[in-house]
Structure 1
Amino acid sequence: MKSIRTLRLLSLLGFLLLMAPFYDQCNGHGMKKAEAPTKELMVDTTAIESLTVKNNNSIERNPIAKDSIVDLKTIETPLYVKAYEFIDVESNQNAFELANMSSIYFEGSFAEFKEELSKDFKKHKYDGLSLFIRSFSFVFIMFITFSILILSFTKRIKWVYKLSIANLSLILITLICILFFDDLFETYKQIKWGYYAFTLVQLGIFYTSKYQITSSKS
C-alpha cells in the first residue's frame, strides 16, 4: 500500500517538474539577483515658482508650497515577484517550452525541412536534426508523464512501468542531442536542476512500479 502512495506522489511530482527549468539555450548566467529596494526620492519644492502672464504682458512670480517637502515613494516590487524572478530566468526553458519548439516544423513544408537538413549535413552540422528530435521527444515526454499520473491512480501499474522506461529513454535521447549535437551547448551549467530532478523522479517511478509488480505476483 505504501508503494502505491509513493508511486502516486512521484507521478504528481514528475508532472509538476515539467514546469521547472530544464535547459538554458543561451548559456545565461543562472539565477537573477533580486533587485535592491528602490530608494525614496525626496523633492524639495521650496524653490518652485509659477509664472503668470498678465494682460499687459507683465510676468508675476507666484511662489508655491513654500517651506514644504513632497515625499515621493516609488512602488516597490512585491516579495513574491522578487522570489519568482530570482528563480526564473527568461533564457531558461522548461519541458513545455522545449516541446513548444516543435511548432516551428508545422509552419513550413516537409520539402523545405528536408532541404535545410541536407544543407546542414553538407556542412557537417546536425543541430537542426537534433532540435527536431529533441523538441518532439519532449512532446512525447509531456504526454507520457501525464499518462503516468493518470494511470498511477488505477490498477494498471504495468503500463506505468512501461511508460517510465519510455520516458527514461526519451530523456536519454534529449541529453545526447544536447551534449553532442547542440552548437549552443558550452557548459554543463546550461543543464538546469529540473532536468536532474525529473530524471531522478522517473527513476523512482520505474523502481517503485517494478517493485509493485513483483510484490503483487508473490
Structure 2
Amino acid sequence: MIRVLVVDDHPIVRAGIVGLLDTEPDFAIVAEAASGEEALELSGRERPDVVLMDLRMPGIGGVEATRRLVRTETGPAPRVLVFTTYEADDQILAAIEAGASGYLVKAAPAEELAAGIRAVAAGQTVLAPSIAAALVARAAGGAATAADPVPVLTPREREILRLVAEGCSNPGIAGRLSIGESTVKTHLLHVFEKLEVSDRTRAVTRAMELGLL
C-alpha cells in the first residue's frame, strides 16, 4: 500500500481529492492537512510514502513545507508531489528546487493523478505536460542569454535523461537501452555532476532550462 498524506487548505477540494484516491485499491490515505505546519506535524507522526502538496496556503506554504519534509532527519523522507492550480515558472522551479519529485495541476484527470502518485512513490519524476512545456519555453528563452557555459552531455547521457523525463525508472531505462542498470546509474551520476544537481527531478528541469532537452 502507498501511504498518502493530502495537503490542501480548501476543505471541499481536499475532500474531493481524498474521495478520488480512496477508490484506488493500493492507496491508504493516512492523514489530511490544511496547512504546511499541519503537514509537517502529521508527516512526522504518520510516515506517509507520498505527500500530495498544494502550494498556496496560509502560514507555511507548500514550497517551504516541501523543503522541510524532504530534509527531515527523524526518519525516511516522504516523496512530495505538488498538486496545485498554479503554473507560473517561478513557482514550478521553486517547488522542484525545494525537493518536490513531481508537479501536477488540478485540471489533470483522476487517472493521471493516481499514476503520478504511483510513479513518485516508485522514485520516478512526474511533470504534467503543460509544466514540461512551460519549462521548455523558459529554457528556449533563457538559453541564448545565459552567461555561463552550457554543460556538454554525451548522446547517451541525453538519451538517458530524456527517458528520466518520461518517468522511466533505472531498470526501465536499462531495459529500453539494453544496458546494465549500473551503467545507467553511472551515466546519471555524470549528468548530476555536469549539471550541478543532486537528484533526477532537478536534473530534468535544469536540462530543460539550459535547452539540453
TM-score computed with the length of structure 2 as normaliser: 0.21
Larger RCO, structure (CA 8 Å, separation 6 or more): 1
More helix per residue: 1 or 2?
Answer: 1
The structure number with the bigger radius of gyration is 1
